[in-house]
Structure 1
């Protein structure tokens, strides 16, 4: 009988191999947090070097470290909405998306980022109620820490949340702790609360509307390629014009001031020009393509890549200032000793926000990108196009009506809208059923599903993710506020 026992040396070598594999796996998991920690330390050291000898240097160094941590979390969570649909539809790879988003986020922040920011975060707190410099700095630091911690938790559970709402909740909680409930502008807070519903609803409605148009006039046509040659240039022109207006209105405020009518006129001009340019290109690209849906996806891929880059640029230009606003306020107050309603953002502070977001995206962003692009509902280039276009259109419409909407809620709401519309359209659309039955040609007739269990099995939106994300949206402001209020009492003692 053969000896099945391993020699002692082999056993010991196996144990060492297992230990090496375990150590390697653990080490790989610590690489990203290690790089993030190095970035935070470098930001703190850089702030100390640039502010050496200035009043309140210690506070500024601490605030820079907190601001860097905040920026990393924004990159890990918020930027997924810009590139997630393009990745989920396989218009570009995850690595390409990370590089494009990182470059354009940084460019948007540094080139077109706002140079003046409201330190009380959109008028939530009465400046007179926190006029004492120490109280104000403690409130801003508490707001930064609480919003960063909340975004970190949301990223961990896989829920894309609004950065602006997190900061709003942090400022509100610290303001209440410092000066009481009377310090809060409740009318402004009411508008922000309304945006919880308005943002995703508008985003979903616009995205579903464009998907219905694509299905009706392109997908369910006998000659899909001929329909695509007619309508795809129009859709690309609409996207180009919309993004031109979006960037002019929201992304280039620092470079040039453009009002709503001028931005819309610019969008019309750009849209018509792009439509005229891409018509022959789409005709040439569609030559030889088979008359099926897979061929249509090729025509939407390049516009999706462009939209991801433009959304990232606009996000960097528009949202980074909000993220580093409390940090800029702390720097101003520590240096000059006075509380101002608006302050200029130093270049190094903007750099902390821009590069922090890029590092956060590269190190921790893939998880949320996959969530938005693949796990909520299945996306292809046509559906992802609807999501990206909806994000830009909804922001423009909301800005025209003065509604405080969240780009995160709009983009994710658009993904939900596309998924829920497909559920309805698959079961209820007579046009789709007639088209499918016409193509069957074998005598079998496809009918709507009546069985509830079968309908539940065919859900195209994962309900678990839907409930998790909506719950995170609802509790973002109150959770950040409660956490900030508690942190304020710790911060005020440390600063005093």
Structure 2
């Protein structure tokens, strides 16, 4: 057997290279279909689960359909909402995308199953007069319309790359169905006014708190001569604040299923946990910082682990609270079909909660990376210090909002924190430029066009996200009204 000539080897290599390129292209094109296939399989499993637990009684088909749409909603919450918790940590390179997805999936599921609320309001946030939906069929189709419309809107927002509030999507869905069923008089407009106010308060407060922490870190740690000594002094304090804030946050928002805790008791718990965290972290930070160089890269290493922990805690609290957005209307439909009457609040069956918890995890794993990259790196550049400020801001703002009684959105707060960090960086950079120009008048000034180009927050993403926030409630309401009219006229 003769050995192939060199020219034949080159021809073989070219052919194999073409085959490899074809295989890579096929995998790239087929990758989105894998996510859609797994999602469809999960929705089918959710409907089978509903059939198994609800049994073959009157209204079974309605419950099965609602379970499918509830699973669809949970997938969309995982794809969109969870990015707010993990995006900053990934953008700061404290977590890989794979690590973030695993931690978030575990923490979201644990939060939903262990600390998710036993009872959910069927008329979200009290925005619709319960008597307006007293007819059982009207109530069922209103809840179904709210579920479908909010899921469709969140899906569209995810496709557009805009992190929106799933809470506000459900609110808009319930409002739209209520208006279609009983007119504008059925809406509790003062409650809607407070929700509209939260559109402004949530991101602004989140941004201000995040910017304030970043200003503190810059002044007391980054821009000092001995950065390591400053870090040894202040990083344990920041860890104590983080621990105390998250303990308060979880006591207020995350353990309702286990025990009811008022705000004052939660604050006392937070203070105690913060004190313990300071005592425990001070020697650890001192030991970790030994031998470190006096530069910012060393500081980033000190903030890495606390940032990862904070992201996991945010995901746990999110799972405990926002899973109701996915399964609340479903639980209401199940209760109405079982009992045969409307209820202002209902208990969530375990199988319904399982659908919500696993749906959020699947949605995150299959479709979450797009929004995680958006929040973590495409709005403004984050490092562990900046991302840490965003996580702290999210927890603090939720606690303040709970104290004020405002129905805030965790999405608005977290993204507002990212914007706040970015805009503060712009302000700080401009301030340093002015100081340099005043100290050295001969330094060449940048042209206005160049200064606009060097902005640290991408304005296109800012405008897209703000626009999506503004139209979320009316868009979900219009969708829900149309779906309700179709369901009520064709089936009801």
Deviation, structure 1 residue 13: 10
Structure 2 equivalent of residue 367 of structure 1:
370
Structure 2 equivalent of residue 79 of structure 1:
82
Structure 2 equivalent of residue 225 of structure 1:
228
Residue 390 of structure 1 aligns to a residue whose secondary structure is helix
Structure 2 equivalent of residue 270 of structure 1:
273
Alpha-carbon distance in 2 for matches of 1:10, 1:358: 43
Deviation, structure 1 residue 495: 3.5
Structure 2 equivalent of residue 4 of structure 1:
none
Distance change >3 Å, CA 122–CA 239, structure 1 → 2: same
After superposition, the C-alpha distances for 1:410-452 in whole angstroms (9 at most, x for unaligned) are 0000000000000000111489859xx9xxxxxx889695632
Alpha-carbon distance in 1 for matches of 2:260, 2:66: 31
1:135 and 2:131 correspond? no
Alpha-carbon distance in 1 for matches of 2:16, 2:316: 53
Matches within 5 A, 1:90-105: 90-105=93-108
Residue 117 of structure 2 aligns to a residue whose secondary structure is coil
Distance change >3 Å, CA 232–CA 488, structure 1 → 2: same
Q: Comparing 444-453 with 394-403, which one deviates more in the overlay?
A: 444-453
Q: How many residues are aligned here?
A: 482
Deviation, structure 1 residue 491: 1.5
Structure 1 equivalent of residue 289 of structure 2:
286
Q: Which residue of the other structure, out of 143, 152, 165, is the alignment partner of 1:162? A: 165
Alpha-carbon distance in 2 for matches of 1:107, 1:329: 23
Deviation, structure 1 residue 17: 7.8
Residues 71 and 326 in structure 2, CA contact (< 8 A), matched pair in contact too: no
Residues 220 and 432 in structure 1, CA contact (< 8 A), matched pair in contact too: no
Residues 121 and 322 in structure 1, CA contact (< 8 A), matched pair in contact too: no
1:453 and 2:467 correspond? no
Q: Which residue of the other structure, out of 74, 89, 94, is the alignment partner of 2:92? A: 89
Residues 134 and 495 in structure 1, CA contact (< 8 A), matched pair in contact too: no
Matches within 5 A, 1:98-113: 98-113=101-116
After superposition, the C-alpha distances for 1:221-244 in whole angstroms (9 at most, x for unaligned) are 000001101000001100000000
Structure 2 equivalent of residue 489 of structure 1:
485
1:323 and 2:314 correspond? no
Deviation, structure 1 residue 78: 0.2
Q: Comparing 261-270 with 386-395, which one deviates more in the overlay?
A: 261-270
Structure 2 equivalent of residue 440 of structure 1:
none
Q: Which residue of the other structure, out of 254, 258, 263, is the alignment partner of 1:260? A: 263
Deviation, structure 1 residue 122: 1.2
Residues 246 and 395 in structure 1, CA contact (< 8 A), matched pair in contact too: yes
Alpha-carbon distance in 1 for matches of 2:201, 2:264: 23
Residue 117 of structure 1 aligns to a residue whose secondary structure is strand
Alpha-carbon distance in 2 for matches of 1:132, 1:250: 33
Structure 2 equivalent of residue 419 of structure 1:
422
Q: Comparing 22-31 with 404-413, which one deviates more in the overlay?
A: 22-31
Q: Which residue of the other structure, out of 133, 150, 153, is the alignment partner of 2:153? A: 150
Alpha-carbon distance in 2 for matches of 1:11, 1:460: 45
Residues 79 and 371 in structure 2, CA contact (< 8 A), matched pair in contact too: yes
Deviation, structure 1 residue 492: 1.5
Structure 2 equivalent of residue 251 of structure 1:
254
Residue 122 of structure 1 aligns to a residue whose secondary structure is helix
Alpha-carbon distance in 2 for matches of 1:64, 1:129: 25
Structure 2 equivalent of residue 25 of structure 1:
28
Alpha-carbon distance in 1 for matches of 2:208, 2:21: 53
Question: Mind listing any 5+ residue stretches in structure 2 that lack a counterpart?
Answer: 1-11
Residue 387 of structure 1 aligns to a residue whose secondary structure is helix
Q: Which residue of the other structure, out of 460, 464, 470, is the alignment partner of 1:464? A: 460
1:36 and 2:36 correspond? no
Deviation, structure 1 residue 22: 4.8
Residue 378 of structure 1 aligns to a residue whose secondary structure is coil
Distance change >3 Å, CA 186–CA 445, structure 1 → 2: same
Deviation, structure 1 residue 63: 0.3
Matches within 5 A, 1:353-364: 353-364=356-367
Alpha-carbon distance in 1 for matches of 2:38, 2:56: 29
Q: Comparing 317-326 with 19-28, which one deviates more in the overlay?
A: 19-28
Alpha-carbon distance in 2 for matches of 1:215, 1:12: 57
Alpha-carbon distance in 1 for matches of 2:174, 2:346: 16
1:405 and 2:401 correspond? no
Q: Stretches of 4+ moved more than 6 A in 1?
A: 9-19, 444-448
Alpha-carbon distance in 1 for matches of 2:15, 2:250: 63
Q: Which residue of the other structure, out of 303, 312, 315, is the alignment partner of 2:315? A: 312
Residue 95 of structure 2 aligns to a residue whose secondary structure is coil
Q: Which residue of the other structure, out of 120, 124, 127, is the alignment partner of 1:121? A: 124
Residues 236 and 282 in structure 2, CA contact (< 8 A), matched pair in contact too: yes
